[in-house]
């Protein structure tokens, strides 16, 4: 069963890849990792395996996961039926523009009205209220855009503001789903760095299916 979420302040600090900072003896190293650097958006084609294993893990106890990782697939279809596809990932941290906003600002700042867009997101956790609002506004003004959002975890799902934001996403036409074990495997195969000349099989973590069912039930209750 997924454990109850706690705030990062209540738990031991960790680095972005899950390293336990309490085990660090060097005060300078500890200070360097605990202090938040300037906000930045990182983009690329494949993310490091250790980031995936830590950030995408579908536990509810999400201490230390102060980023959102967003893997995307964009399919743009012309009237003639030709499809152009692209993929990549973004990561954010801290409190400025989040990955969802950055996608629309940097990856898809404009939409060609002559094309139909099918966009799929695999996100480590579901959007905050502000990002959900940005998605809703984009969907309402971009009639040729369809968005499928698959989330590894639900972000602060007990908060009424978050629940209302998720319902608004559904009403705006965004398809919301919790990532199944096979979705995590898809991300592993298509968005995670593999060792050169070798493709390592995805190894599901303990309770991956149980935690999927937990979050899937919570999302269904929120959206009904």
Cβ partners under 8 Å of residue 89, min gap 6: 43, 44, 45, 46, 47, 69, 70, 71, 72, 191
Q: What pLDDT is recorded for position 62?
A: 63
- Measured in whole angstroms, the distance separating CA 166 from the mean position of its chain's CA atoms is 15
Structure tokens at 165: 């934001």
Grouping H, G, I as helix, E, B as strand and the rest as coil, residue 55 is helix
Q: Name the pTM for this structure.
A: 0.77
- Catalytic residue numbers? 100
Instruction: List per-residue pLDDT tens for the chain, 224 residues long.
Output: 443 333 333 333 344 444 443 443 444 433 333 333 333 444 556 778 877 887 788 887 666 566 788 999 999 999 888 899 999 988 876 445 788 998 999 889 889 999 999 999 999 999 999 999 999 999 999 999 999 999 999 998 999 999 999 999 999 999 999 999 999 999 999 999 876 655 688 889 889 999 999 999 999 999 99
Asked whether 137 and 143 are in contact (CB, 8 A), the reply is no
Chosen CATH of 40-223 out of 3.40.140.10, 3.40.605.10, 3.30.413.10, 3.90.180.10 = 3.40.140.10
């Amino acid at each position: 069963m997924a454990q109850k979420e706690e705030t990062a302040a209540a738990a031991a600090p960790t680095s972005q890849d899950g390293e336990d900072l309490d085990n660090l003896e060097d005060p300078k190293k500890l200070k360097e990792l605990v202090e938040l650097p300037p906000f930045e958006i990182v983009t690329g084609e494949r993310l490091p395996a250790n980031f995936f294993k830590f950030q995408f893990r579908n536990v509810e106890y999400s201490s230390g996961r102060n980023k959102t990782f967003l893997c995307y697939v964009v399919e743009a279809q012309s009237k003639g039926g030709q499809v152009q596809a692209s993929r990549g990932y973004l990561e954010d941290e801290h409190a400025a523009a989040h990955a969802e906003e950055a996608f629309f600002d940097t990856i898809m700042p404009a939409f060609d009205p002559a094309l139909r867009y099918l966009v799929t997101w695999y996100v480590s956790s579901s959007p905050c209220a502000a990002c959900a609002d940005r998605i809703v506004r984009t969907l309402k003004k971009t009639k040729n855009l369809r968005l499928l959002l698959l989330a590894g975890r639900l972000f602060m799902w007990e908060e009424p503001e978050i629940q209302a934001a998720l319902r608004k996403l559904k009403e705006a036409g965004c398809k919301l789903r919790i990532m199944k074990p096979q979705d995590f495997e898809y991300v592993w195969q298509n968005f995670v760095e593999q060792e050169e000349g070798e493709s390592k099989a995805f190894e599901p973590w303990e309770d991956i299916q149980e935690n999927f069912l937990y979050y899937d039930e919570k999302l269904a209750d929120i959206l009904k």
